[in-house]
Amino acid sequence: MRSKEKALLVAELAKAKLAEDVVILDMRKVSSITDFFVIASASSTKRCQSIAENIESGLSEKNKSVSRIEGYQEGLWVLVDAYEVVAHIFHVDIRKFYNLEGLWGDALRIKLCHKKKKTLSKKTSKRK
């Protein structure tokens, strides 16, 4: 699995646990820290923790390991280090304060595919 595919998987795993405002930053040209940041928000500390757990278990299912998880106990800024992809799961207010997207403004943003919700078509019948 290439690092971009891994970043997209991490983003989907975060969204599966109702992460909000998920953004992927391509860090390869601006930093040697990692290849990609996945940044997401959550409305509660429990949700931050749940998103981190889902990322860890989802990667494990694909035989990809996580180096470490930091900030889990507090649940305000949980960092999941998956080597070439680092996920930052923030409580909404904390994300605004640290503004990683602004700090790393030179990094390219990777677009996420938004799955369209299926709408039920209304069948109309004519009564005679």
Question: Looking at residue 124, what is its pLDDT?
Answer: 45
Instruction: Please state, in angstroms and rounded to a whole number, the distance separating the CA atoms of residues 96 and 65.
Output: 29
User: What domains are defined for the chain?
Assistant: 3-110 (3.30.460.10)
pLDDT per residue, tens digit, the chain (128 aa), is 799 999 999 999 999 999 999 999 999 999 999 999 999 999 999 999 999 999 999 999 999 989 999 999 999 999 999 999 999 999 998 999 999 999 999 999 998 866 544 444 444 444 44
User: Which token pair is 71?
Assistant: 């900030």
What is the secondary structure of 89-112 as a DSSP string?
EEEHHHHHHH-HHHHTTTSEEEPP
Question: Looking at residue 127, what is its pLDDT?
Answer: 45
